[in-house]
Amino acid sequence: MPLGVDGLARTIDRRAFIDESILDIEWDRVFQPSWQLLGFSGEVREPGDYVVRMLGRDEVVVIRGEDGDVHALHNSCTHRGTRLCRASLGNTAHLRCSYHGWTFANDGRLIGVPARRSGYPPAFDRARYGLPRARVVCRRGFLFATWDPQAPDLEEYLGDIAWYLDALLDCGAGTWEVCGPPQRVRTRGNWKIPTDNFAGDGYHMRTTHHIALDQGIYGDTLADGTRGRAGTDLIAVNIATPHGHAVRAAYALPRGSRLDDRDLTAPRFPGYPPRRWTDLARAQSPEQVRFTSHCEVAHGVIFPNTAFLSVAHDRAIGHDDDPLTRYLVIRAHLPLSARETECLYWTLVPTAMDPAWQRRSYRFQARTQSAGGILFEMDDFENFARIDAALARSTPGRSSPVDLSLGAGLGTPVPGFPGPGHAETATLSEHNQRAFYHRWSTLMGELP
């Protein structure tokens, strides 16, 4: 069965979410040629600092070498294959295998072999036994990596989505700092389920997250069930790129107005303190301001499995006195199997903001959109698990494809939208998910 009907990926075969044989193909055709997020340079600041992460199906030691560069080394000894590094993070002068003691430098070179002179033939060449290294690029503190020597450069790979990421980061008026190691949680369900959710699913808000909306976490619930403040409309713009990356940005505007009606001589950055708005605008280009001004929430996906969310909150549950705040969370959705996913969450805070604001931003993120948060993750994960259970157990259900037609053909192009890519307004649309699955199905080919 073809994965995308008429090439637009409006339906997906349900086996794509449950079958291990499909994941086996995905490792080679989707993950292998892609750039994936390993973490942030702030996690490995000093020479010898390391974290252990997944790159595709392989574990890598992400380590800062004595040369100051960050390396991603296959976490497997080149002698018998023993897992070298068993801690999830730390600092080390070298990596020494627990089996026979081969020792590797922090850049992957084999530098020590017990009994090398007495036990190995003279032709034994240590240089041939270095740890395999992935390509690593640090972009604005984000550590991206790929195993594929043929993969395009990161900038080419990111394409248009880089513009939107930069706009969100520049809106912080400086550099960003990662708040410690990521939170990690396992969820039932295929890795594509949370990923397509982040690509652009505004549709589930009114049902899945109605409790959060009722609590006023985003201000008032509007008549159409979306969030916002009384007297406002939420206007969402969906932007998809041919690479499968996507972003959805939503703007709360006075009822009846259009995006063009915003007064950009007085830009607004919801969640940031109004006294900082002039500085924030100055840190961006006029085009970036046209994207970020009045934006309540922006979320999206860097294909295949990196997601991001920048959102303003009116209040955090349990901290009703806290003023309006914003947070930025970056996520990786890592397949553990076809039916289980590990989610990593990193919170980033702008260094230009004062420490109290940074703490509040981190707290809002941790209390809502995180493994231990109230409402959002619990609500979403419950649905992801239900999807998994139903798809896996229901034989009749396997024959009907998953539908992606919401808003198809109904979006309105946004002429003059400041960013690249195909932008259209439709508050409820699966435009971005179609782009994500279209890229995925192009890489995968037809299912066997």
Which parts of this chain interact with ligand FES (CB under 6 A)?
A: 77, 79-80, 82, 97, 99-102
Quick one: which segment of 218-226, 270-278, 316-324, 375-383 binds Fe ion (CB under 5 A)? 375-383
Q: Which does 380 bind (CB under 5 to 8 A by kind): Fe ion, ligand FES, none?
A: Fe ion
What is the pattern of x (binds Fe ion, CB under 5 A) and - over residues 52-91? ----------------------------------------
CB atoms within 10 A of CB 268: 19
Q: What is the DSSP string of 35-65?
A: -EEEEEGGGS-STTEEEEEEETTEEEEEEE-
Quick one: which segment of 174-182, 216-224, 287-295, 380-388 binds Fe ion (CB under 5 A)? 380-388
* Pick 80 or 184: Cβ nearer ligand FES: 80
Measured from the CB of residue 221, what is the shortest distance to Fe ion in angstroms? 15
380 binds Fe ion (CB under 5 A): yes
Measured from the CB of residue 82, what is the shortest distance to ligand FES in angstroms? 4
Measured from the CB of residue 105, what is the shortest distance to ligand FES in angstroms? 15
Contacts of 359 (CB under 8 A, 6+ apart): none
Let me know: does 129 contact 111? Beta carbons within 8 Å: no
Q: How far apart are CA 314 and CA 100, in angstroms?
A: 57
Strand-pair partners of 142: 40, 139
CB atoms within 10 A of CB 241: 25
* Pick 27 or 99: Cβ nearer ligand FES: 99
Q: How far apart are CA 438 and CA 351, in angstroms?
A: 37
Measured from the CB of residue 84, what is the shortest distance to ligand FES in angstroms? 8
Quick one: which segment of 180-188, 245-253, 350-358, 377-385 binds Fe ion (CB under 5 A)? 377-385
* Pick 106 or 232: Cβ nearer ligand FES: 106
Quick one: which segment of 22-30, 254-262, 378-386, 426-434 binds Fe ion (CB under 5 A)? 378-386
Let me know: does 427 contact 234? Beta carbons within 8 Å: yes
Q: How far apart are CA 10 and CA 4, in angstroms?
A: 6
377 binds Fe ion (CB under 5 A): no
Q: Distances from the Cα of 432 to the Cαs of 195, 201, 427, in angstroms?
A: 11, 8, 12
Applying CB under 5 A, the site for Fe ion has a residue count of: 1
Element (H, E) at 227: strand 227-228
Measured from the CB of residue 104, what is the shortest distance to ligand FES in angstroms? 10
Nearest CA to 172 out of 75, 298, 26, 64 is that of 298
Q: DSSP secondary-structure letter at 215?
A: T
Measured from the CB of residue 121, what is the shortest distance to ligand FES in angstroms? 17
Alpha helices in 304-430 (DSSP H): 355-367, 376-393, 395-398
Quick one: which segment of 45-53, 245-253, 372-380, 418-426 binds Fe ion (CB under 5 A)? 372-380
Measured from the CB of residue 51, what is the shortest distance to ligand FES in angstroms? 21
| Residues near Fe ion, by CB under 5 A | 380
